[in-house]
A and B are shown apart, each in its own frame.
Chain A
Amino acid sequence: DTGVSQNPRHKITKRGQNVTFRCDPISEHNRLYWYRQTLGQGPEFLTYFQNEAQLEKSRLLSDRFSAERPKGSFSTLEIQRTEQGDSAMYLCASSDRGGLGYGYTFGSGTRLTVV
């Protein structure tokens, strides 16, 4: 299966620690998105890459958050100095040049718990 892959599936970390998540998009997709979903809420847009360029960042993406997509392939999302409020499901999605109309596919997410 060549869907969107996210690792790890679950991460438990102590407050103040740094964490990094990885997303491997569908290979032919040049666009990659990160969303955050807290309990009982819908996903909220965090950031968007077209190839290796980060083209948009939400105000939700504080200075403690950084995302990269080197070489326009996989992407990483790092959270520094985690806080309990960072506990959420982090979802990655990718799409091809057609954008929303074509192949916008979500991964299964990484669930972060900050204790």
Chain B
Amino acid sequence: AQSVTQLGSHVSVSEGALVLLRCNYSSSVPPYLFWYVQYPNQGLQLLLKYTTGATLVKGINGFEAEFKKSETSFHLTKPSAHMSDAAEYFCAVSDPRTGTASKLTFGTGTRLQVTL
């Protein structure tokens, strides 16, 4: 079974500061990894994903994440926070062996607050 742990249910940063949201996974095989963002009363929007290839993945809105197999981590970063980044962020994994099933296992989320 796969699982995802997101350290820190709430993270607060100042506008312009570095954003670091942590995600660690547990999986018997290298998984596919995802970060999603959710604004209030809305669905989930994909920020970025890692399936194969380059371990540093760049996504939308200036976010990026690095897959580190040795640390079983996929932390999300952004060099400079903007007020519009305030939202809930979810890390998710999928077992690539499931092929067409493609279901996602999510972490519990991290709420990012951006202050002036």
Chain A CB within 8 A of B42 CB: yes
Chain A residues within CB distance 8 Å of chain B: 4, 6, 31, 33, 35, 40-45, 48, 50, 55-56, 91, 93, 95, 97, 99-101, 104, 106-109, 111
Nearest residue (CB) in B for A50 is B100
Contact of B108 among A41, A56, A107, A109 (CB under 8 A): A41
Chain A CB within 8 A of B73 CB: no
B103–A43 CB distance below 8 A: no
Residue-wise interface mask of B (35-47) relative to A, using a CB-CB cutoff of 8 A (1 in contact, 0 not): 0100001111110
Contact of A41 among B36, B99, B109 (CB under 8 A): B109
A6 to B42, CA, bound (A): 11
A101–B43 CB distance below 8 A: no
Besides A6-B43, A106-B43, 6 other A-B contacts (C-beta < 8 A): A41-B108, A44-B106, A56-B103, A99-B101, A107-B43, A108-B42
What are 5 A-B contacts with C-beta separation under 8 Å?
Answer: A40-B9, A42-B92, A106-B36, A108-B42, A109-B41
Contact A101/B49 with A40-B108, A41-B109, A111-B41 known, Cβ cut-off 8 Å = yes
A107 to B109, CA, bound (A): 18
A19 to B102, CA, bound (A): 27
